[in-house]
Amino acid sequence: MRKTISIDEIIRDIYVSPSKLAIKLARKYRYLPYMIERYIRVLGVRETTKLLEAFEKPLAPVIRTNIVLIKPEKLTERLENLGFKLESITWLPYAYRVVGAPGSPSIGSTHEYLKGLYYVHKDAAALLPPVLLINDDYEGDVLDMCAAPGGKATHLAQLIYGRGRVIANDLVLYRIKSLVGHVMRMRLNNIDVTWADARKLPSIMKRRFERILLDAPCSGEGTIMFDPGRKTRTTIKDLAVIVKRELELLVAALNMLEPGGILAYSTCSIAPEENEYVIYRLMMIRDDFEIVEPRNKLFEWSPWLTSYKNMDYPDDYMKCVRIWPHIHGMMGFTVCLLRKI
């Protein structure tokens, strides 16, 4: 089996020639044309327009209760007394969407926030990977390979508090500063922070894990509602470089996973190149993993694509999670669970 793939080969695989309609929509909504062409191929014209309109609408932030320090009902009572209006996330009982706020303080500057009683997420989709990765009765450590700024690492730490530790790794120092700040603020003493290129972790860290989270650095194409600059930031070549890095990170993650262990691969991108294509390429160089279905269907998410362009993907992709902004009212997001065999 081939162990490497070149940037040029990736570009050949992922390149699409934009149609006149894609170019027209790209001008109207201010996107790179290849992105619109891809949406049309996956969704059709009508659904593509709905997606583009969804990206134009802001999303309310979401808070996650630090259940190590406070019960959800106590936190909501305190915040509502301050003038915040909270809406329950039906599939996660300790998380709430902030649908109303007073003029002051902001949700990220209350005394409750500074005391570490909750974490502020841009959106509820980011809550999925830890919940899908960790069983209620799981005991053991978890590796978060690309952990900063800390939303998922602190969530994992809550879920295994008293039963295991989180090794929270990242490469970017200014992001690690945010990670350490959240760990200290939330008083989670079961998190160890490390600084390394996650692709080199198998040779640096002489141990293996039963649970690994790889929330991979990606194009962020699912977060356009928060950062409109992502409409034009990632060229085809840029995307190919990101894809290659994601594949290298997955190889490193599998090398650190115990046989029978579970790896959660997630991105805040709706690009099939960063999700379906990456796992497809991983299957071409590794045969020691299988896709597994999440144990709980928390809500009616969409499955991964089983074909795109001239590539047919395995039926097991139906087990993976895809969040579409225009369908689910959240940012674009994906999760795929892999078991090492």
* Residues labelled as active-site residues: 268
Q: What is the mean predicted confidence (pLDDT) over 211-240?
A: 98
pLDDT band at 206 (very low <50, low <70, confident <90, very high): confident
Global pTM exceeds 0.75: yes
Domain final residue pick, 121, 136, 168: 121
- 269 has pLDDT over 70: yes
What is residue 310's predicted lDDT score, i.e. its pLDDT?
A: 86
Regarding whether 165 and 85 lie in a shared domain, the answer is: no
Q: Considering the domain boundaries, does residue 25 fall inside one?
A: no
> What letters, b where the CB count within 10 A reaches 16 and e where it falls short, cover 29-53?
bebbbbbbbbbbbbbeeeebbbbbe
Regarding whether 205 and 80 lie in a shared domain, the answer is: no
Q: Is 229 exposed, middle or buried (0-12, 13-18, 19+ CB in 10 A)?
A: exposed
Q: Considering the domain boundaries, does residue 303 fall inside one?
A: yes
Q: What count of residues does the chain have?
A: 341
Regarding whether 307 and 193 lie in a shared domain, the answer is: yes
Regarding whether 174 and 98 lie in a shared domain, the answer is: no
Find out whether 177 and 208 touch, Cβ atoms under 8 Å.
Answer: no
Indicate which CATH number applies to the domain containing 78: 3.30.70.1170
What is residue 326's predicted lDDT score, i.e. its pLDDT?
A: 98
What is residue 301's predicted lDDT score, i.e. its pLDDT?
A: 98
- Residue-wise pLDDT for 98-153, tens only, equals 999 999 999 999 999 999 999 999 999 999 999 999 999 999 999 999 999 999 99
Contacts 24+ apart (CB under 8 A), 11-17: 11/236, 11/237, 11/240, 13/277, 13/311, 14/236, 14/239, 14/240, 14/243, 14/273, 14/277, 15/236, 16/41, 16/309
What is residue 5's predicted lDDT score, i.e. its pLDDT?
A: 86
- 3 has pLDDT over 70: no
CA 319 to chain centre: 16
Would you state the torsion angle of the CA atoms of residues 76, 82, 83, 85, taken in this order, to the nearest 10 degrees?
-20
Residues 6+ apart with CB under 8 A from 112: 75, 78, 79, 118
**Domains of the chain: total:** 2
Q: Is 83 left (phi over 0), alpha (psi -120 to 50) or beta?
A: left
Query: What is the domain extent for residue 170?
Result: 125-340
Q: What is the mean predicted confidence (pLDDT) over 186-208?
A: 97
What is residue 4's predicted lDDT score, i.e. its pLDDT?
A: 75
Q: Considering the domain boundaries, does residue 10 fall inside one?
A: no
- Residue-wise pLDDT for 178-196, tens only, equals 999 999 999 999 999 999 9
Q: Considering the domain boundaries, does residue 281 fall inside one?
A: yes
- Residue-wise pLDDT for 36-85, tens only, equals 999 999 999 999 999 999 999 999 999 999 999 999 999 999 999 999 99
Regarding whether 74 and 199 lie in a shared domain, the answer is: no
Regarding whether 92 and 183 lie in a shared domain, the answer is: no
Regarding whether 181 and 248 lie in a shared domain, the answer is: yes
Regarding whether 311 and 286 lie in a shared domain, the answer is: yes
Q: What is the mean predicted confidence (pLDDT) over 244-257?
A: 98
Regarding whether 285 and 271 lie in a shared domain, the answer is: yes
Mean of all residue pLDDT scores within the chain: 97
Alpha-carbon distance of 211 to 147, in angstroms, equals: 14
What is residue 2's predicted lDDT score, i.e. its pLDDT?
A: 56
- Residue-wise pLDDT for 276-330, tens only, equals 999 999 999 999 999 999 999 999 999 999 999 989 999 999 999 999 999 999 9
Q: What is the mean predicted confidence (pLDDT) over 168-182?
A: 97
